[in-house]
Chain A
Amino acid sequence: MIEFNLDRGSGVSTYLQLVHQVKQALRLGVLRPGDQLPTAREVVESLAINPNTVLKAYRELEREGLVEGRPGMGTFVRQGIAGATLAEHTRLRRDLEAWVRDARAAGLDQEDLRALFTVALADAAKEGVA
């Protein structure tokens, strides 16, 4: 089961935060095919948000084919997110950490790092890689 949390000052809409958290849990294997998502009532009881917000997030996930609603039963994970396995995640993260250390040693600060990473992402998107 996944437990949602909200970053109220983030400026990201509540329903998108829920969508992102489910996707992240799928990527990390915290949620697997067949797992049930919490009911709207359960989410609402812990976060004090509008139940329609939860339903909207679940509809979005359903539209993307990641979960399915079974009438009278709840919402279930249909498939994981294809992509890197957990082991690959760990490896990539280690590489990234090494890169960060390298960049810090070269005199870049946090903001420089973020800018550089954003530019790299944008370039990759332009080339159709990401």
Chain B
Amino acid sequence: MSAALEATGLGVRYRRTWVLRDCSLSLPTGRVAALVGPNGAGKTTLMHAAVGLLRPALGSVRVAGEAAFVAQDKPLYESFTVAEMLAFGRRMNRRWDDAAAADRLAALGIPLRRKVGRLSGGQQAQVAVTLALAGLPDLLMLDEPLANLDPLARHDVMRSIMAEVAERRLTVLLSSHVVSDLEETCDWLVVLNAGRLQVSGDIEELLDGHLVVTGPDDAPIAGAQVVSASRTGRQVGMLVRGAPPLDPRWQARSPGLEELVMGYLRSPDSAALPKLTGVGA
């Protein structure tokens, strides 16, 4: 399994504050990965480091092949027409598929002669994604691509991206702090919290590997790692990792993606990371 993005001991510092520390992760090729975490967790910093917009203080991050990055404040020139944006992209990129970009915009009904500043937010997002895809990247990184978009525009943007994933071997990393936006589209989860990596793994395996259990406070739970727990009177609710032999007094079920993310974010010291067992593992 080759990695589209690999970070090893990555640390980034702004002046004296560490915004990302000891971050080691490997994102397999062809995955659609959700990068989630609260504001200020280091999501944007990780992406910036990956495309070389900033230099890490420690460790390294490597992208296999070409990476495209769409920043949160859609990097478009408002006074340009859509056609001029395309021409600009053509000149700025080594690889460029002009026909695919034009087809995509036509299919979306976005007129080439319209000024970017006069497009709707959803259309601007589509133009930014189209430009990023026209460069035929191996890794597409999108920082909060759905922020400020209405539900219909969000659906349309995700449709565009998913169609491209279906078409060729593209890896996607997209950040969001709204987990429900990502439930249907992502198959890999990366959780960052306060500059530290908490979770990195296949979403299905993660959901299968965790349980939400509720039961009396005095019933023991062994053989599982408690990710987070909340107590109300004599009852305790927990997110656990692993498959513990359950006391019959416990009720257990599988977590949803949002529950899993919340469980980890509430306990910054918990982590679900693949064991780094070295070469050949």
**A residues contacting the other copy or chain, number (CB 8 A):** 17
Beta-carbon contacts under 8 Å, A38-63 to B: 39-41, 44-54
Contacts of B184 in A (CB 8 A): 6, 8, 14, 47-50, 53
For the complex, give the distance between the alpha carbons of A54 and B185 in Å.
11
Please name all residues of chain B whose beta carbon is closer than 8 Å to the beta carbon of A46 when the two chains form the complex.
159
Chain A residues with Cβ under 8 A from B162's Cβ? 44-45, 48-51
Q: Are A44 and B159 in contact (CB under 8 A)?
A: yes
Contact status A44-B163, CB under 8 Å: yes
Q: Is the CB of A41 within 8 A of B185?
A: no
Residue from the set A14, A49, A50, A54 with the largest chain B CB neighbour count within 10 Å: A50
Q: Using a CB-CB cutoff of 8 Å, which residues 196-245 of chain B contact chain A?
A: none
Chain A residues, Cβ within 8 Å of B41: none
How many angstroms between the C-alpha atoms of A45 and B162 in the bound complex?
7
A51–B163 alpha-carbon span in the complex (Å): 8
Q: Kindly provide the distance from the CB of B149 to the nearest chain A CB, expressed in whole angstroms.
A: 13
Are the CB atoms of B185 and A48 closer together than 8 Å? yes
Measured between alpha carbons, how far is A51 from B159 in the docked complex, in Å? 10
B185 A40 Cβ-Cβ under 8 A: no
Cβ A48 vs Cβ B187 within 8 A: no
Contacts A48-B155, A48-B158, A50-B32 given; does A41 touch B186 at CB 8 Å: no
Selected A-B contacts with CB under 8 Å, 26 pairs: A6-B184, A39-B166, A40-B166, A44-B162, A44-B163, A44-B165, A45-B162, A45-B163, A46-B159, A48-B156, A48-B159, A48-B162, A48-B185, A49-B184, A49-B185, A50-B32, A50-B162, A50-B165, A50-B186, A50-B187, A51-B162, A51-B165, A51-B166, A52-B32, A53-B184, A54-B166
Q: Which 9 residue pairs of A and B lie closest in terms of their CB atoms, listed nearest first?
A: A51-B166, A41-B166, A48-B158, A44-B162, A48-B159, A49-B184, A40-B166, A45-B163, A44-B166
Which B residues are within 8 Å of any A CB, using their own CB? Answer: 32, 155-156, 158-159, 162-163, 165-167, 184-187
Binding site for B on A (CB under 8 A): 6, 8, 14, 39-41, 44-54
